[in-house]
C-alpha cells in the first residue's frame, strides 16, 4: 500500500526506513511493528528508531494538543521538585569535569532546550546563572509566568538561532528522543556553545533494565512522540559524529518514581532500591551524557 512520503525524506533522497538517522548505516533490522510503522535497529551503532519519520507539522500539532500539555503538566518530568533534583545532580557531574563553570562570580550562560514551563531554568537563575529556554509549545511557555516570557524563545531547534558561542551550558532533558534529525540538531547546538562549553543530555535508556525486561512492552516506546531509542553506545556515536569530545555517560534512576507511590512502604523501598542499583551498574531508566563542544580551531 502506498504511504505518503515525508518531504524531509524526499530531500534526503532515500526510502523512509532504510537508513540509521545517527550513523547512516543502511539495512536496519526490523524489531517489530508499532503504531503506524515499525521499530528498527541499526546493526552498526545499535540505535533503535521509528519509521516512518513524521513531518514537523504533524509533531507540532501533537505537542500543542491540549491533552499532551495536560499530561506533561501532571507528569513525572515536570515541577520544581524534579528541577531541584536535576540541578543538584548536574552540579555533581559538572564539579567533577569542569568545576570552574560553577564559580558563583562567573555568571555563566545557561540554555535549557525544551524548557517546558521553565522550572529548571528558574532553579538555575536562582543560583546566579544567566538563563534562556527554548520551547516548542507556546502554551507551555505561557505557563512559565509573565516574568519569564522574555527568557523563552518559541520554536524547534531548526527554526531557532542564537549567536555563535552564546552559552557555557546547554541541557536537553528528554528532548533528544523526540527529534526528527538528531545529527543536524546536535551539530547546530554545538555552535551555540562557547568553545569548550558543555552539553548535557538525558534520554530514556534503551539499554536499561526496564527496556531489557519489558521489550516491546516498555512504556517509553511511544512513537511518534519518541522517534529514537538510545543506549550508551549509540549516544556516544551520535556525540562523536557531531564533534563533541570528553564524552561521559551516566545512567540514573528517574527523579521521581510515580509507579512506586501507590505501593506499601516495604515494596516501595524495595522498588526504589532496584531503581537505584540498576542505575549504579549502567542499567538505570535514564541515560545521560555530558560532552564538551570543540575548542576553537586556532588553539
Phi and psi based region of residue 13 (left: phi greater than 0; alpha: psi -120 to 50; beta: remaining): left
Task: Report in angstroms how near the CB of residue 220 gets to Zn ion at its nearest.
Answer: 20
Residues 6+ away with beta carbon under 8 Å from 90: 171, 200
Cell numbers representing residue 11 in the block: 530531500
Q: Which is nearer to Zn ion, 8 or 23 (CB)?
A: 23
Query: For residues 83 and 120, is the Cβ–Cβ distance under 8 A?
Result: yes
Q: Which stretch binds Zn ion (CB under 5 A): 47-55, 106-114, 263-271, 287-295?
A: 47-55
Q: Which stretch binds Zn ion (CB under 5 A): 14-22, 115-123, 199-207, 257-265?
A: 14-22
Q: What is the DSSP string of 232-290?
A: HHHHHHHHHHTT-EEEEEEEE--SS-GGGTTS-HHHHHHHHHHHHHHHHTT--SEEEEE
Q: Which stretch binds Zn ion (CB under 5 A): 24-32, 73-81, 83-91, 255-263?
A: 24-32
Query: For residues 113 and 171, is the Cβ–Cβ distance under 8 A?
Result: yes
Task: Report in angstroms how near the CB of residue 44 gets to Zn ion at its nearest.
Answer: 5
Instruction: Name which position in 20, 169, 172, 186 contacts Zn ion (CB under 5 A).
Output: 20
SS (HEC) of 107-136: CCEEEEECCCCCHHHHHHHHCCCEEEEEEC
Check residue 274 for interaction with Zn ion (CB under 5 A). Answer: no
Task: Report in angstroms how near the CB of residue 10 gets to Zn ion at its nearest.
Answer: 21
Check residue 25 for interaction with Zn ion (CB under 5 A). Answer: yes
Q: Which is nearer to Zn ion, 23 or 154 (CB)?
A: 23
**Terminal-residue alpha carbon distance, the chain:** 55
Check residue 186 for interaction with Zn ion (CB under 5 A). Answer: no
Please list the helix, strand and coil fractions of the chain in percent, rounded to the nearest 5, in that order: 40, 25, 35
Check residue 22 for interaction with Zn ion (CB under 5 A). Answer: yes
Instruction: Name which position in 6, 16, 17, 23 contacts Zn ion (CB under 5 A).
Output: 23
Cell numbers representing residue 275 in the block: 531503581
Instruction: Name which position in 9, 39, 40, 45 contacts Zn ion (CB under 5 A).
Output: 45
Q: Which is nearer to Zn ion, 20 or 170 (CB)?
A: 20
Task: Report in angstroms how near the CB of residue 20 gets to Zn ion at its nearest.
Answer: 3
Determine the 3-state secondary structure of 204 from DSSP. strand
Check residue 183 for interaction with Zn ion (CB under 5 A). Answer: no
> Quick one: DSSP state of residue 297?
T
Q: Which is nearer to Zn ion, 42 or 189 (CB)?
A: 42
Check residue 42 for interaction with Zn ion (CB under 5 A). Answer: yes
Binding site residues, Zn ion, CB under 5 A: 20, 22-23, 25, 42, 44-45, 47
Amino acid at each position: 500500500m502506498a504511504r505518503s512520503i515525508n518531504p524531509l525524506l524526499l530531500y534526503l533522497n532515500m526510502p523512509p526506513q532504510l537508513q540509521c538517522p545517527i550513523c547512516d548505516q543502511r539495512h536496519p533490522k526490523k524489531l517489530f511493528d508499532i503504531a503506524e510503522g515499525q521499530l528498527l535497529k541499526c546493526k552498526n551503532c545499535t540505535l533503535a528508531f521509528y519509521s516512518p519519520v513524521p513531518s514537523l507539522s504533524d509533531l507540532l500539532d501533537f505537542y500543542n494538543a491540549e491533552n499532551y500539555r495536560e499530561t506533561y503538566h501532571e507528569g513525572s518530568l515536570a515541577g520544581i521538585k524534579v528541577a531541584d533534583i536535576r540541578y543538584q545532580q548536574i552540579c555533581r557531574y559538572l564539579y567533577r569535569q569542569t568545576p570552574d563553570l560553577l564559580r558563583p562570580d562567573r555568571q555563566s550562560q545557561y540554555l535549557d532546550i525544551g524548557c517546558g514551563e521553565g522550572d529548571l531554568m528558574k532553579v538555575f537563575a536562582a543560583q546566579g546563572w544567566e538563563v534562556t529556554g527554548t520551547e516548542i509549545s507556546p502554551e507551555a511557555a505561557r505557563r512559565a509566568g509573565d516574568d519569564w516570557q522574555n527568557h523563552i524563545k518559541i520554536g524547534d531547534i531548526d527554526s531557532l538561532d542564537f549567536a555563535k558561542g552564546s552559552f557555557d551550558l546547554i541541557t536537553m532533558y528528554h528532548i533528544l528522543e523526540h527529534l526528527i534529525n538528531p545529527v543536524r540538531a546536535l551539530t547546530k547546538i554545538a555552535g551555540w556553545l562557547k568553545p569548550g562549553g558543555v552539553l548535557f543530555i538525558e534520554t530514556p535508556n534503551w539499554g536499561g533494565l526496564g527496556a531489557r525486561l519489558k521489550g516491546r512492552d516498555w512504556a517509553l516506546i511511544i512513537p511518534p512522540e519518541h522517534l529514537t531509542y538510545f543506549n550508551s553506545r549509540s549516544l556516544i556515536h551520535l556525540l562523536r559524529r557531531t564533534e563533541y569530545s570528553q564524552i561521559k555517560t551516566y545512567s540514573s534512576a528517574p527523579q521521581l518514581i510515580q509507579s512506586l507511590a501507590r505501593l506499601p512502604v516495604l515494596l516501595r523501598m524495595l522498588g526504589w532500591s532496584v531503581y537505584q542499583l540498576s542505575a549504579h551498574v549502567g542499567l538505570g531508566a535514564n541515560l545521560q551524557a555530558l560532552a564538551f563542544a570543540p575548542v576553537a580551531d586556532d588553539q
